[in-house]
A and B are shown apart, each in its own frame.
Chain A
Amino acid sequence: MADERSGFDAVVEGPKPSYQGELSPVQVQSPGEVHESVEALRDLFGEAVLRHDVVANGQHIVFVPPERNLEILTWLRDDPEQQYDLLRDVTAVDYGGGQPLQVVYQLFSFFHKNALCVKCELPLDDLEIESVVSLWKAANWLEREVYDLFGITFKNHPDLRRILMPPDYAEGHPLRKDFPLRGRFSRAEQTRRALSQDLDHYYFDAEIERGGEPQELPPVAKTGEEAPE
């Protein structure tokens, strides 16, 4: 099978999906394998468990509706039978081709030594989901990163702004599949923009206020004119 994404066209246009078929993960483990938390979730939330996949390495993935993420994650953290007290990771996956973006939560219960992956699928026209910073402070920067690189807005996040890219980055959200690898602008334009950053991009408004008005330096005398013959 020839890989459609090979060739450097993809570098300019953004990657094309290499596989157009059904995107359900291969059930590597025996499908009958049960996960206590998933069973408990099914009992309590019923139809909120949209899908349950077991992928390689015995990892359990639960798909839940995005509007109920906070409710379900709160229960997973606080229920004494579950106690998922360590939020390992928050990230997102873009499959491209107009498919919904997935927000992925990797949970681990330090007490029960259990791992669980919770996913929410967000359609491209409604990229909003409730923030979980109120549950785990670890989510603060992780959600900021997802916002920066994927453009997913986290509601009620205390400090949602770009974290890796400059605050005035105008080219979009880099990890989306429609974003070209080298950026949307030419290198010259990127360089120009980078060097023309002003004070607002280094400090918050409150910090600028604290620091006072920037001082205008006196004009420098032109050197190099009095060069000897």
Chain B
Amino acid sequence: MAQKTVELTLGRTPEMGVGGKPVMGPLAPIDMPEPDMESENMLVNIGPQHPATHGVLRLVCELDGETVVKCTPHIGYLHSSFEKLGEYRTWNQIVPLTDRMDYLAPLIYNCAYIMSVEAMMGIEVTERCKLTRVIMMELDRIFGHLLWLGTFVMDLGAFTPFLYTFTERERIYRLHEAYTGARITTSATRVGGMMSDMPEGWAQGVRDFCHGLPRTLEECETLLDNHGIFLSRCQGIGVISGEDALNYGLTGANLRGSGVPYDVRKDQPYYDYETYDFEIPVGEYGDSYDRYLCRMEEMKQSLRILHQALDRLEKAKGPMDVEDPRITLPSKTDAMSDMESMIHHFKLVTEGLHAPVGESYFPVEASKGELGMYVVSDGGTKPVRWRVRPPSFVNLAALPSMLEGHLLSDLITINASIDIVLGEIDR
């Protein structure tokens, strides 16, 4: 298999920033002996209701002055037991649950889950369906990264990019709504296809969005890349080495920011990702700024994939769903006029699909990192086990080690830079 991994290194020297722009480094420590006083560490509780914890994360920090000695994250404040609930739902009924897990990029979750089920059932979807899912996943990668950008920068004290990114997000919301009828809870996929074919003009809408986004990104970069406060709060903050990152199981931009070019789309390609021409941005220092750069570049690479997929979609005129009466529902006309179709419809809706005995772990590159959907079937219409390997759950576990020795204010930067969403951490 000819597999090409092109590394795009976002290099910068400590003196010069990206593209030769000057960088304001952290202030030099004042060379003064610490006063010798009786002091003891202080305990600070942050969250669960705190604007900078991005949900209901709770961090208990032990502070020596302003330096974090030890940080213990407490999670589970949003544990909604998706996995248990999935055992009471048929294969198709689980799809609405998936988009409530990562509400920042719901379509990736929809697609990842259904791809895992299809892999287990041995279903090969049509070309048009594949392309539609690629478009949806790349669109939602941008969707998730845009929210990350807005909140990350807002946590560092800049409000304007938040408004810019939300303007772009509203465009994606409208695209979601045009296709699925919902802004966030899309539930777009079904086993063997999509909920429906795309509406008239939707592909053109995506293309228009792709043409408009680079300008907004440029505006945000203009605001941020030369901003002294932004740079000094990001650079050298939350450094994690490549080996450590791999050992901690970090994935996504957090791992790539540390210089490891691991991307599921390149390393275990699905849906013909090996035939798309795109690059994997890789950081050098593994700090918050590299993670920021990686995500900014990833959005531009996603745009490249989107353009290619939209070009291919024009040629793929075939059906959207698999034409197998055991899997796909018959058309409404057939169900209303043909006896057999109606029986099929009734059986499929009331009983659900029968999956073969088996299991499948399907890794997908989500906006936060590697998302693995693990489904186990015992031959019934419901899964025995539906397990989600949530990228942010594993990424967040590395927070205490990235935080040690930093100031309390850096906690906000680091926590925002690893891009967590509590819906999938707690599930």
Consider the complex of A and B and state whether they touch directly, i.e. have CB atoms less than 8 Å apart.
Answer: yes
- Measured CB to CB, the residues of A under 8 A from B are 1, 3, 5-6, 10-11, 15, 17-19, 21, 23-26, 28, 55-57, 59, 61, 85-89, 91, 93-96, 104, 106, 108, 110, 113, 115, 117, 136-138, 140-142, 145, 149, 162-166, 174-175, 179, 181, 202-204, 207, 210-211
Shortest CB distance A177–B (Å): 8
Further pairs besides A86-B249, A163-B76: 12, Cβ < 8 Å: A18-B378, A55-B360, A56-B122, A57-B119, A88-B363, A89-B374, A93-B385, A136-B248, A137-B397, A138-B248, A174-B84, A207-B72
CA distance A210 to B267 in the complex (A): 47
Inter-subunit contact A91/B267 (CB<8 Å): no
Q: Are B382 and A5 in contact (CB under 8 A)?
A: yes
B42 contact set on A, CB distance < 8 A = 210
- Within the complex, the shortest CB–CB distance from A123 to chain B, in Å, comes to 18
Partner of A28, one of B76, B122, B352, B397: B122
Please determine whether B379 and A18 come into contact, CB atoms closer than 8 angstroms. Answer: yes
Q: Which residues of A contact B393 (CB under 8 A)?
A: 141-142, 145
- Ordered by A's residue number, 25 sampled pairs between the chains whose C-beta atoms are within 8 Å are A6-B351, A6-B381, A11-B88, A26-B356, A28-B358, A55-B120, A56-B121, A56-B360, A57-B119, A88-B249, A88-B389, A89-B372, A91-B389, A93-B384, A137-B247, A137-B248, A138-B248, A145-B393, A164-B76, A164-B79, A165-B76, A181-B85, A207-B62, A210-B40, A211-B43
B16 within 8 A of A: no
Q: Mark B341-357, 1 if CB is under 8 A from A, else 0.
A: 00000000001101011
- Interface SS majority for chain A: loop
Do A57 and B376 touch across chains, with their CB atoms under 8 A apart?
Answer: no
Residue of B41, B79, B246, B380 near A5 (CB, 8 A) is: B380
A140-B400 Cα distance, complex, nearest whole Å: 12
Please give the distance in Å from A112's CB to the nearest CB on chain B: 10
A184 to B376, CA, bound (A): 25
Residue of B nearest to A142 (CB): B394
In the complex formed, the residue of A with least CB distance to B370 is A88
Q: Are B88 and A55 in contact (CB under 8 A)?
A: no
CB distance from A97 to the nearest CB of B (A): 10
The 10 closest A-B pairs by CB, nearest first: A138-B249, A18-B380, A164-B76, A19-B379, A57-B119, A141-B397, A89-B389, A164-B79, A19-B378, A25-B358
Chain A: minimal CB distance from B397 (Å):
4
* In the bound complex, CA of A118 to CA of B356 (Å): 21
Main SS class of interface, B: mixed
Number of A-B residue pairs with CB-CB distance less than 8 Å in the complex they form? 164
State the Cβ distance, B179 to closest chain A Cβ, in Å: 27
Interface residue ranges of B354-412 to A (CB < 8 Å): 354, 356-363, 370, 372, 374, 376, 378-382, 384-385, 387, 389, 393-394, 396-398, 401
Answer whether residue B95 sits at the interface, using C-beta atoms and an 8 A cutoff.
Answer: no
Cα A68 to Cα B427 with chains together (Å): 31
Contact B382 A18 (CB under 8 A): yes
Residue in A18, A145, A149 whose CB lies within 8 Å of B381: A18
Query: Complex: how many Å from CA A141 to CA B393?
Result: 8
- Are the C-beta atoms of B249 and A87 separated by less than 8 Å? yes
A15 touches B88 (CB 8 A): yes
Q: Indicate whether B297 reaches chain A with its CB closer than 8 angstroms.
A: no
Judged by a CB distance under 8 angstroms, whether B289 is at the interface is no
Distance between A56 CB and nearest chain B CB, rounded to angstroms:
5
Complex partner residue of B84 from A85, A87, A181, CB under 8 angstroms: A181
| A175 surroundings in chain B (CB, below 8 A) | 83-84
With A87-B249, A106-B361 given, is the CB distance from A138 to B119 under 8 Å? Answer: no
Residue of A nearest to B401 (CB): A137
Contacts of B352 in A (CB 8 A): 3
Is B262 an interface residue when CB atoms closer than 8 A count as contact? yes
Asked if residues A165 and B372 are in contact (CB atoms below 8 Å), the reply is no
Name the CB-closest residue of B to A95: B384
